[in-house]
Structure 1
Amino acid sequence: MDSGPHAPTTLVDVLHARAQRHADRPLYQQLASGEIVGELSYAAADRRARALAMELREHAQPGERVLLLYPFGLEYPAVFLACLYAGLCAVPAFPPDKQRATSTMPRVGAIIRDADARLILTTADLVETVEFARAEAVNPDALEILATDALGHDADRAETWTRPAQLEDALAFLQYTSGSTGTPRGVMIGHDNLYAHQRLAHEKFKQDEGAVTVSWLPFYHDMGLIGSLLYPLYHGGTTALMSPTAFLRSPLAWLMAVSKLRARVSTGPNFAYDLCVDRAARAKPDALDGLDLSSWELTVSGAEPLRPQTIERFCQRFAPHGFRPETFMPCFGMAEATLMVSGWPLERAPSLRRFSREALWTGRAEPLPEEAEDSEGRDYVSCGTPMREHEVAIVDPDTCARLPDGHEGEIWLRGPSVGRGYWGDAETSTRRFAAHIEGEAEAEAETKADSPGVWPWFRTDDTGFVLDGELYGTGRLADLIVIGGRRYQPHDIERKLAHGPDALVKEAVVFSIPDAEGKPQLCIAATGRRTSGDEVRRKLCERIAARVLERVGIEPDRVVLIPQRSVSKTTSGKLRRYRYRSALRDGELEVLWERSAGGVAG
């Protein structure tokens, strides 16, 4: 973007300027069955945002929270941009489903109560469903519902729009976390955080004007919102949108869209790449005829750890169709930092390294030679280096002292894209967004006095280590299991049970609960069939325990079988391990069979 006295400081400035520079260029396109069925140009998006912003100002004051509950389609990005133009604080959320109220209403209700929204924006078709959700508000009568379909189309009204004063200092939106380790929290992302993230992420992504992005990611998720809707706006590209449902129904349609539109960018979490490989293996021989992925330059993998096996399988399967390993950019990021913090360099194949399992048990990262046995090591993918103006530190979570390279600890970070805290939770915000490294507070104060651009540290609650200047994420601090002085990452054990050609179960959840003396017990909840007999269940539990002992070196204290399709996950696909921890402890988990280290109980 332009620099100088009139340089943009918010994405509102960026879109308003681009609407004049390339008015007719598509900003968003809607896909259905591989065809473009709708389009919103830069000029049309800017005009609609200005006109709708003027109408929204009649219903809410600048800074008030506005909940966005929309189905897939072009209305959502248009309305989100209008909220930015109006100076309102957008709150993206997944719309409730009356047919699945027990699974969709709790999260929506929690967000409605926490955000204390003034408005709910939706479509005319969803008003009745949203009325159903309004009852969750603290004061339902004060919460207005507005269908936006027919609003914001008056070109004359658009001409009356004025940019809100000090917009860069205002909140842009609340991004609610996935809730993988507890209740979702609303991260306060300012216009300044959002613009800084896109400006600095662009130095990593290096996409040109006109580059096409294909995305199936949900709009309410930070990867979908920041990476697929707003980053292309920053660099002047086009995003072709397919619905998440269409992707889940036919994962290969995602790749076909990349091929057909000659897209340069498309991203997804780890499971998406595995799903494509699995579907390709079962597809008809001609299902991939004509697939050409040679235009694909960048696929940012985030939201969950990227497994080395996933990269290898995907590259091997789709290399004949032009896919290159250099396309993968493993990243580390989170909603609290707007999206990305650290990423692998573009046009370099990801770095996959194996580390000593025994050393990792004691919190040290020691690389192994390539010829080392699989059982000796644990593979990790490098997440590269932090974005410019950002810094990462590995810190002892108990003492808050900085740890040297090659030691595992809590990942702390700071930089201009880190949000302002959690909405309505000043205590947690202070603890996590204004942290200090032990012994460095005085030096930080002196540095900040000389350089006002120094930011406070944010505690991520994630674990990892830095080696050779590169960041490796290893898991969640809340999920880390320490038994007998050794550290165990739950996902490492889960993969040995539920992934690969020799998987024992479809899904497994690993966690710990204290025994009567307060000592941690290693517990595994694995899926089993309701129709299986007792002997089948008993043998499966024995096989699970034996595999963990053989491949991880520890015998589980408890193995329980739970019904298939009962595994609880967040909207971004992360396991809610804390729910199993409390449910098993409190006797509220539906158990089909249980094996204890001291015996077996049905």
Structure 2
Amino acid sequence: MAEAAATGAAAVTAAAQAGTIALRLEALARAPDGRWSITFLDSHGAVAEHCTAAALAARVAAVAGVLERESAPGAPVLLVFQPCVDFLVAFLACQWSGRLAVPINPPRRHRLIARLQAVAADSGAKVALTGGGVAEQVAHWRADSTVLGALRWHDLGGLDLDPARAAPLRAVDPQATCFIQYTSGSTALPKGVEVSHANLMADMARMEAAWGLSPASTMVSWLPAFHDLGLIFGLLQTLFSGCPVVQMAPNSFLQRPVLWLDAITRFRGTHTAAPSFAYDLCNRRIAPEQREGLDLSSLVMAMNAAEPIDPQVMETFTDTFGPYGFRRETFAPAYGLAESTLAVTASPVGMAPRLFTLDPGALEAGRIALAPPSTTPSAPRRSVIAGCGAPLADVPVAIVDPQTLRRLPPDGVGEVWVGGPTIARGYWRRVEESAATFGVRIAGEDDPNGYLRTGDLGAMIDGELCITGRIKDLIILSGANHYPQDIERVAQAAHPALRIGSGAAFSVADDHGGVQVVLVQELERTQRRADPDPLFSAISAAVWENLELQLARIVLVEPGAVLRTSSGKIQRSANGRAWRDGALPVIAEWRSARERGRAGAVPSASQPVPGGDAAALGSWLREWLAQRLELPVSEVAAQRGLSELGLTSIDAVELAAALGAHCGRELPQTFAFDYPTIGAIVAHLCGPPAEPAAVARKVAGPRQGGDLEELLSMIEGGARGRD
């Protein structure tokens, strides 16, 4: 305990001395022996750009000069960048000049601008900085959106950054807001978390102490820089600790996962982070011949966070890459959220992840009971859950009954409440929501600072936080947030036979520990005997094309069957239980082809075929999809929607890459969403060029954003290590 207290005190002292991240950059730029640098890799893993601290500081000061002339101190500035070094320049220019950075990823498809508009409007930004090839899209955004058209846009790549007009470093109050982190997910009601300079420095000081970061470390990251795990841990932490960082675009990793591990090998990376699905992708997608030459022995820690932590994925990754230097104790499960800046708990370096075997019956009853080893087939069912580490120094964690607001006994499962100096200031311009989430008091206890309500359910087991679920309805799939009301709204707009405001989307666990999405939807009374197949096709296609989300099941029910509260609100958890128990009056139910688990897939063609041959290209596509989705080729018909087959967002990116390589042409990663059937793909590639809108289904209602970076963005704040 004395050692932990000393570590906590050292962390607090380091944070106080650091001041702000802009001051830290200035110090690194002046240091003659500074080791810090940023290296950005292209999609092939080659060095695209390298920048030292001194060069970075000069660019930052020059852009800060532009902000001084274009905006007032304390004003929000929208940052809309493709992955590149200029994003870091823009973010730090806001810190340098005392402006509030508002990072957000650009929509990958022109029509998916709803979230960008919502964040621009909610933040109140008047100025936007762009880079990485975004500027060419700005004219279209401005023409289509009054909100985006009113912004003053500046492309860093086209600015004349005169050193003579560079801005001096502005002194700021450490308690003031330094950036606004918008939580990912709902496009309709974005919430911006106000992170202060003091919050940021305190959290990074604690992460440095917990994970052994120093100038001798090397960070390797492919995480999206617009969101907090990639931004704070992947980029800003390296400035705080003075260590170099090697960065690549998320798409580069998704298309070729081996690039991540190859970068760790080449640059002798010591620290990295990713959600569980990324480690699983490496397990499945890096072939034995690609592993040759990898050396992961330099890694000190590999954070596993941002989505439910799958113990089997960690086990498989350790077994697969153990021969190449990866050690079990390198895994560092963690938990955090944007409202607490980033990290809340951390598994220390050098300690293997802790796994707890629980009695699921007790867990369902809201208690933690460790299960005895199973020795007979009749032994009680058990659940294995991964710990997310111990709370960081001076970060109290309480397990509270969400109804009575009282602290639960040590074996209780309840809502996770978090306190300490890393808790953010609140939600930007949302007083009521801030009061309901921040600074909440535990009933019967006298705490002047209060706690943050996380909305996550969990328990403390032997000093380790374990997350068991969520109170809120948020659906977490492959590291991305999906708000059920978005899914319901898009689905109901797909066909007039569906009752508006009468659906419930929820997630369920599959047999492999993954997450699937189910939609229960009422029909209009006059449509109860309608052919359900067109409805299923319309719903699955609409959700796929608008949200880039694949539904596993669609359940059509009688009017009035969807469960609600007395005030008329949809009870999504209750509907999920009723569906599982067979208690709903089901009219018809649909399962995706992938979810049905058909076997007998045919291997993909071994010999390339000419891209202009429609029949050959269609055959290649059917075989590729059959192999990827583990379906017989007979299931993969040209007219069937890719969403009906069960193609996920990650599959869609891989399809675009494989198809582009097969045809010898560059295809956008959104290709499968713009041409959502085999027939549409073949017609586009083998026939006269067509606009994507001409082949994509039209869906009434607002278009919602489900970008690839949203897929990768860390849930509600980046480091949520949910088990």
> After TM superposition, is the score higher than 0.5?
yes
CA distance in 2: counterparts of 1:463 and 1:416, whole angstroms: 22
CA distance in 2: counterparts of 1:187 and 1:300, whole angstroms: 23
Q: Which amino acid aligns with 1:15?
A: L
**Alignment RMSD (CA, Å):** 3.5
Task: Say if 1:521 and 1:141 are closer, same or farther in 2 by CA, change over 3 A.
Answer: closer
Alignment counterpart, residue 90 of structure 2, candidates 57, 76, 79? 79
1:12 aligns with 2:22: yes
Alignment counterpart, residue 339 of structure 2, candidates 331, 336, 341? 336
CA distance in 1: counterparts of 2:201 and 2:554, whole angstroms: 39
1:181-226: CA deviation from partner (whole Å, max 9, x where unpaired): 9843111111111111111111111112031111111111211101
Q: Which amino acid aligns with 1:163?
A: R
Task: Say if 1:239 and 1:438 are closer, same or farther in 2 by CA, change over 3 A.
Answer: same
Alignment counterpart, residue 110 of structure 2, candidates 78, 81, 101? 101
Following superposition, the deviation at residue 498 of structure 1 comes to 5.3
Task: Say if 1:304 and 1:182 are closer, same or farther in 2 by CA, change over 3 A.
Answer: farther
CA distance in 2: counterparts of 1:394 and 1:531, whole angstroms: 36
User: Match for residue 382 of structure 1?
Assistant: 387
Alignment counterpart, residue 433 of structure 2, candidates 425, 428, 432? 428
Q: Which amino acid aligns with 2:79?
A: L
User: Match for residue 510 of structure 2?
Assistant: 494
Q: Which amino acid aligns with 1:337?
A: S
Q: Which amino acid aligns with 1:95?
A: P
Q: Which amino acid aligns with 2:575?
A: Q
Q: Which amino acid aligns with 1:463?
A: L
Alignment counterpart, residue 454 of structure 2, candidates 456, 460, 467? 460
CA distance in 2: counterparts of 1:339 and 1:472, whole angstroms: 17
1:222 aligns with 2:233: no
- Bigger Cα displacement from structure 2, 567-576 vs 22-31: 567-576
User: Match for residue 30 of structure 1?
Assistant: 40
User: Match for residue 594 of structure 1?
Assistant: none
User: Match for residue 471 of structure 1?
Assistant: 465
User: Match for residue 486 of structure 1?
Assistant: none
User: Match for residue 293 of structure 2?
Assistant: 290
Task: Say if 1:399 and 1:134 are closer, same or farther in 2 by CA, change over 3 A.
Answer: farther
Q: Which amino acid aligns with 1:88?
A: R
1:43-54 correspondence runs (5 A)? 43-54=54-65
Q: Which amino acid aligns with 2:101?
A: A
1:425-446: CA deviation from partner (whole Å, max 9, x where unpaired): 1101001012111111xx224x
1:515 aligns with 2:563: yes
The answer on whether the counterparts of 1:47 and 1:155 sit within 8 Å (CA) in structure 2 is: yes
The answer on whether the counterparts of 1:123 and 1:148 sit within 8 Å (CA) in structure 2 is: yes
The answer on whether the counterparts of 1:343 and 1:384 sit within 8 Å (CA) in structure 2 is: yes
1:369 aligns with 2:433: no
1:455-476: CA deviation from partner (whole Å, max 9, x where unpaired): 3211001110112221101122
Q: Which amino acid aligns with 2:110?
A: A
Q: Which amino acid aligns with 1:58?
A: R
Aligned residue-pair number: 520
CA distance in 2: counterparts of 1:135 and 1:415, whole angstroms: 45
Which has the higher relative contact order, 1 or 2, with Cα contacts under 8 A spaced 6 or more apart? 2
User: Match for residue 282 of structure 2?
Assistant: 276
CA distance in 2: counterparts of 1:31 and 1:5, whole angstroms: 31
SS at match of 1:58: helix
User: Match for residue 547 of structure 1?
Assistant: none
User: Match for residue 249 of structure 2?
Assistant: 243
1:304 aligns with 2:307: yes
1:238-262: CA deviation from partner (whole Å, max 9, x where unpaired): 1111111110101111111111111
SS at match of 1:161: coil
CA distance in 2: counterparts of 1:9 and 1:246, whole angstroms: 35
CA distance in 2: counterparts of 1:404 and 1:378, whole angstroms: 21
- Bigger Cα displacement from structure 2, 18-27 vs 429-438: 18-27
CA distance in 2: counterparts of 1:241 and 1:419, whole angstroms: 27
Task: Say if 1:230 and 1:136 are closer, same or farther in 2 by CA, change over 3 A.
Answer: farther
Q: Which amino acid aligns with 2:169?
A: T
1:182-261 correspondence runs (5 A)? 183-261=189-267
SS at match of 1:111: helix
Task: Say if 1:576 and 1:386 are closer, same or farther in 2 by CA, change over 3 A.
Answer: closer
Following superposition, the deviation at residue 109 of structure 1 comes to 1.6
The answer on whether the counterparts of 2:227 and 2:713 sit within 8 Å (CA) in structure 1 is: no
Task: Say if 1:214 and 1:22 are closer, same or farther in 2 by CA, change over 3 A.
Answer: farther
Following superposition, the deviation at residue 23 of structure 1 comes to 6.1
CA distance in 1: counterparts of 2:49 and 2:276, whole angstroms: 29
User: Match for residue 66 of structure 1?
Assistant: 77
SS at match of 1:197: helix
1:160-199 correspondence runs (5 A)? 161-166=168-173, 168-179=174-185, 183-199=189-205
SS at match of 1:267: strand
User: Match for residue 528 of structure 1?
Assistant: 592
CA distance in 2: counterparts of 1:332 and 1:22, whole angstroms: 37
CA distance in 1: counterparts of 2:713 and 2:53, whole angstroms: 38
CA distance in 1: counterparts of 2:348 and 2:594, whole angstroms: 48
The answer on whether the counterparts of 1:49 and 1:152 sit within 8 Å (CA) in structure 2 is: no
Task: Say if 1:5 and 1:389 are closer, same or farther in 2 by CA, change over 3 A.
Answer: closer
The answer on whether the counterparts of 2:63 and 2:90 sit within 8 Å (CA) in structure 1 is: yes
> What TM-score, normalized by structure 2, do the two folds share?
0.66
Q: Which amino acid aligns with 1:87?
A: G
Following superposition, the deviation at residue 521 of structure 1 comes to 3.0
Following superposition, the deviation at residue 310 of structure 1 comes to 1.1
SS at match of 1:521: helix
Alignment counterpart, residue 21 of structure 1, candidates 31, 55, 64? 31
Q: Which amino acid aligns with 2:24?
A: V
User: Match for residue 545 of structure 1?
Assistant: none
CA distance in 2: counterparts of 1:175 and 1:306, whole angstroms: 24
Task: Say if 1:122 and 1:526 are closer, same or farther in 2 by CA, change over 3 A.
Answer: farther
Task: Say if 1:260 and 1:566 are closer, same or farther in 2 by CA, change over 3 A.
Answer: closer
SS at match of 2:77: strand
Task: Say if 1:22 and 1:564 are closer, same or farther in 2 by CA, change over 3 A.
Answer: farther
1:404-443 correspondence runs (5 A)? 404-440=409-445, 443=446
CA distance in 2: counterparts of 1:80 and 1:109, whole angstroms: 20
CA distance in 1: counterparts of 2:160 and 2:35, whole angstroms: 20
Uncovered stretches (5+) of structure 2, i.e. residues with no partner? 1-10, 476-505, 517-549, 581-588, 599-642, 650-704, 716-723
Q: Which amino acid aligns with 1:186?
A: G
Alignment counterpart, residue 711 of structure 2, candidates 570, 573, 576? 573
CA distance in 2: counterparts of 1:23 and 1:141, whole angstroms: 45
Alignment counterpart, residue 88 of structure 1, candidates 99, 105, 112? 99
> What TM-score, normalized by structure 1, do the two folds share?
0.79
User: Match for residue 401 of structure 1?
Assistant: 406
Following superposition, the deviation at residue 270 of structure 1 comes to 0.6
User: Match for residue 449 of structure 1?
Assistant: none
Identical aligned residues as a percent: 34
